[in-house]
Chain A
Amino acid sequence: MINREGRIKARFESLAEKKLAGLITFITAGDPDQKSSEDILMGLPHAGADLIEIGMPFTDPMADGPAIQLSSKRALASGQNMDKTLKMVEKFRKQDADTPIILMGYYNPIYSYGAERFSVSAANVGVDGLIIVDLPPEEEEELVQPAIKAGIDFVRLTTPTSDKKRLLKLVKTASGFIYHISITGITGTQSAETLDIRNAVGKIREQSNLPIAVGFGIRTPAQAAEIASIADAAVVGSAIVEKIADGIGSPDCVNNVLQYVSEMANGVHTARMN
């Protein structure tokens, strides 16, 4: 069983020691096919990803924009399911013992698998955290309890609609880190104003000591650097997934994606030195 104070905490602490912000990358498991998806995953730490979010594909990703909708569709078409996603993490752990893996998605595939069975299996293969988009604090208990018991952090999403009272409720049961969604919208669409992000991060810091990651709409190394100067980590999702889509069928697909990730990592990792 994994220690409660696990890889996520260790990674953020080591970043803080180096006075660096982290890069969190998102890919959908099985997109565009199992082999390419695995190759990308294996290459992410070397390309500069500090934490990795892996999307568990779902037929009805209601909070996602077109890029991630299509990635889920490709993954499901390639035969991806929960067992395969967990196997992918297991394989990754054999090569990398330190980079935190966070599974992200919607509740139904987990509910269907069984919340308790899922928590145990996920912990056993080396999953460190969960982000479940459609499981607000009001409905979280049936998954959070077995997840925490298994040693998996439950990462909470905060948004521009979270007022002070709501934030308090959100951070109360959060663990690992806080993921601030910087816009009111779906993934991969618009980007937020820096000032708004700065204010939001400040308000979260008043209520929680957990590291804060900021995501939604981050596409360029410059944008990533800006986030890195405000928050503890920048999350890049749709932009990576679009690079995957662009490269389908090309022998350079995996390399191009990893090249892009290393550019983004460079942006994040040099941000606080300027």
Chain B
Amino acid sequence: MNVEKPNSYKNFPDTAGHFGIYGGRYVAETLMPLIIDVEKAYTLARTDKLFLDELDYFLRHYVGRPSPLYFAERLTASIGGAKIYFKRDELNHTGAHKINNTIGQILLAKRMGKKRIIAETGAGQHGVAAATVCARFGLPCVIYMGETDIERQAPNVFRMKLLGAKVVPVQSGSGTLKDAMNEALRDWVSNVDDTFYIIGTVAGPHPYPAMVRDFQAVIGREVREQMERAEGRLPDTLVACIGGGSNAIGLFYEFLDMEDVNIYAVEAAGKGLKTGQHAASLSAGRPGVLHGNRTYLLQDDNGQIEEAYSISAGLDYPGIGPEHAWLRDNGRVKYVSATDKEALDAFQFCSELEGIIPALEPAHALAYVRRIAPNLSSDHLLVMNMCGRGDKDVFSVANALGVTI
């Protein structure tokens, strides 16, 4: 699908939440008044100095922002080619970029007088980030998590419980992220008066894709300043992994209108795009409607949603944020993919060379960096979003490598 290029990529979504044909508000009628309330509250908050100051305070003193922009010198030397920088969002409190968003949403929930928080989680990173801010602000928290994910992410389940959250196992469907999201929506329909739903990625009904993007956009704003200080100019290429797409849009958004900046988002190709076992909705899916928005989905010929697969539980989702669907169609961002095996190799490569154990999600981004960097000149500035740390993945990686720990 090809669409016209807009004058600015940053004037979207429109007031109804559409990015071209994508996005929107495809939810049960019971929820419509609620998401309209969230939209109204967010529209006021985003230009309210008090709200923004409070957000800034917590990002600085609680999350630990700004995160460093780090020149990966040994990795650069080893690959040969582009100068590779990591945006170190894995150093945030709770170990990933997810908390940039949960801190923003909990402040909004408080402002709206909500008394109870629900969230969905796949790998558990968003669940931990949601449970963390709920503990900090004293709100009860219910996290929906697929049974399959609970098994493969036991450490994060325990972390959420330590933080005082109730983790509800979801048995429906295949027991993964998409089913957890269905269940969270069912909870919200049943608890309309007091509950705020903290969605973890740039998907769901409007205003979530725009709101989550705005909260994550701090990543790219910092990169721009930091790169200016380090190199005196803009980066040439940005690379981020993409599941739902929140870390990617967070890095990209600041740069969307700077056409000289090349932008790549790396989907999980799992066991290979041709095997049917992957999570690459943009590379191998087609437009559809799920979880409140129109976007690219993995689905069969009858419009039934297919299961996604990736070694990385955080990328294992059959959809993608609607803004990414739109950026794909208009060509501003190039969507590519990396397999489980490439990600595993990159995971080890980074650990050994830089002393940074990446999460399996950004290991996909690094796998792609390894593919393109050798063909770029040594003054080409490449920024990769190191959006999470790999502590949570050591068990799955050991398992994949056939190591018993």
Give 1 or 0 for each of B299-322: 1 = CB within 8 Å of chain A CB. 101111100000000000000000
Nearest B residue to A157 via CB reads: B29
| Interchain CA distance A134-B179 in the complex, whole Å | 16
Contact A134 to B34, CB < 8 A, known contacts A60-B182, A111-B289, A186-B189: no
Binds B, one of A88-96, A161-169, A225-233, A248-256: A161-169
* Also in contact, A184 and B192, with CB within 8 A (given A108-B299, A109-B302, A134-B289): yes
Distance of A188 from chain B, by nearest CB (Å):
11
Tell me if B288 and A108 are in contact (CB < 8 A): yes
Q: Is B232 an interface residue (CB 8 A)?
A: no
**What is the 8 Å Cβ interface bit string for chain B, positions 161-204, against chain A (1 contact, 0 not)?**
00000000000110000110110011001111000000000000
Chain B residue nearest to A83 (CB atoms) is: B302
Decide if B304 touches A59 in the complex (CB within 8 Å).
yes
Total contacting residues, chain B, CB less than 8 A:
38
Q: Which residue, A65, A69, A134, has most C-beta atoms of chain B within 10 A?
A: A134
Q: Are B25 and A108 in contact (CB under 8 A)?
A: no
The contact string, 1 if C-beta is below 8 Å from chain B, for chain A 103-114, is 000111111110
**Is B405 an interface position by the 8 A CB rule?**
no
- Cβ–Cβ contact A139 & B24, under 8 A: yes
Expressed in whole angstroms, the minimum distance between the Cβ of A118 and any Cβ of chain B is 10
Decide if A136 touches B27 in the complex (CB within 8 Å): yes
**Chain A residue nearest in CB terms to B21:** A142
**CB <8 Å contact, B303 and A109:** yes
Q: Among B32, B181, B294, which residue has its beta carbon within 8 angstroms of that of A136?
A: B32
Contact of A186 among B190, B294, B297 (CB under 8 A): B190
CB-nearest residue of chain A to B18: A139
Beta-carbon contact of B186 and A62 below 8 Å: yes
Q: Is the interface of A mostly helix, strand, loop or mixed?
A: loop
**With A and B bound together, what is the CA distance between A184 and B185 in angstroms?**
12
Given that A134-B289, A163-B33 are known contacts, is A139 also in contact with B26, CB under 8 Å in the complex? yes
Among A108, A166, A184, the one with the most B-chain Cβ atoms within 10 Å of its Cβ is A108
Known interface pairs A109-B303, A112-B303. Does A184 touch B25 (Cβ–Cβ under 8 Å)?
no
* Cβ distance A79 to chain B, nearest Cβ, rounded Å: 10
A158 contacts across to B, CB distance below 8 A: 29
Interface assignment of B290: CB less than 8 Å from any CB of chain A = yes
A160 to B28, CA, bound (A): 12
User: What string of 1s and 0s marks CB contacts (under 8 Å) between B271-312 and chain A?
Assistant: 000000000000000011111101001010111110000000
Least CB distance from B331 to A in Å reads 24
Instruction: Check B43 for interface membership: any CB of A closer than 8 A.
Output: no
Interface presence of A210 (CB below 8 A): no
Instruction: Flag if B33 contacts A135 (CB, 8 Å).
Output: no
A158 to B33, CA, bound (A): 11
Assess whether A159 is interfacial by the CB under 8 Å rule. yes
In the complex, whether A82 has a CB less than 8 A from a CB of chain B is: yes
Q: Is A76 part of the binding interface, using a Cβ–Cβ cutoff of 8 Å?
A: yes
For B305, list chain A residues within 8 Å (CB): 59-60, 108
A124 part of interface (Cβ distance < 8 Å): no
Q: Does B377 touch A at the CB level, under 8 Å?
A: no
| Residue of chain A at shortest CB distance from B206 | A138
| Contacting residues, chain B, for A166 (C-beta < 8 A) | 32-33
Closest residue to B32 on the A side, CB-wise? A136
Q: Are the C-beta atoms of A162 and B29 separated by less than 8 Å?
A: yes
CB-contact partner of B288 in A62, A66, A76, A111, under 8 A? A111
**With A135-B26, A181-B29: A112-B299 Cβ-Cβ less than 8 Å:** yes
Residues from chain A with Cβ under 8 Å of B302 in the complex? 81-82, 109, 112-113
With A58-B304, A108-B303, A112-B288 as contacts: A170 and B29 at CB distance below 8 Å: yes
Contacts of B25 in A (CB 8 A): 136, 138-139
Known contacts A111-B288, A161-B192, A186-B189; decide if A134 and B303 are in contact (CB<8 Å).
no
In the bound assembly, the distance between CA atoms of A63 and B303 in angstroms comes to 18
* Chain B residues near A59 (CB-CB < 8 A): 173, 304-305
What is the CB-to-nearest-CB distance from B39 to chain A, in angstroms, rounded to a whole number? 11
Smallest CB-CB separation from A136: which chain B residue?
B32
Whether B30 and A181, one on each chain, are in contact in the complex, defined by CB atoms closer than 8 angstroms, is yes
- Contact status A107-B190, CB under 8 Å: no
Residues of B within 8 A of A191 (CB): none
**What separation, in Å, do the CA atoms of A9 and B290 have in the docked complex?**
32
Q: Is the CB of B303 within 8 A of A138?
A: no
Quick check: A110 and B182 within 8 Å, CB to CB? no
From the candidates B24, B191, B290, name the one contacting A108 in the complex (CB within 8 A).
B290
B145 to chain A: closest CB distance in Å?
Answer: 16
A63 vs B172: C-alpha distance in the bound complex, in angstroms?
A: 13
List the 9 shortest-distance A-B pairs measured between CB atoms, nearest first.
Answer: A112-B303, A109-B303, A63-B28, A185-B190, A159-B30, A81-B302, A134-B26, A62-B182, A157-B29
| B interface residues with partner A (beta carbon < 8 Å) | 16, 24-34, 172-173, 178-179, 181-182, 185-186, 189-192, 287-292, 294, 297, 299, 301-305
Q: Hey, which bits of chain A sit against chain B, CB under 8 A?
A: 58-66, 69, 76, 81-82, 106-113, 133-136, 138-139, 156-163, 166, 170, 181, 184-186, 189
10 further A-B pairs in the complex, CB-CB below 8 A; given A138-B24, A159-B29: A59-B304, A59-B305, A60-B182, A64-B186, A111-B287, A112-B303, A133-B28, A161-B33, A163-B33, A186-B190
Between-chain CB contacts (< 8 Å), 11 pairs: A60-B291, A62-B181, A62-B182, A66-B172, A106-B289, A107-B26, A111-B303, A133-B28, A135-B26, A138-B24, A184-B189
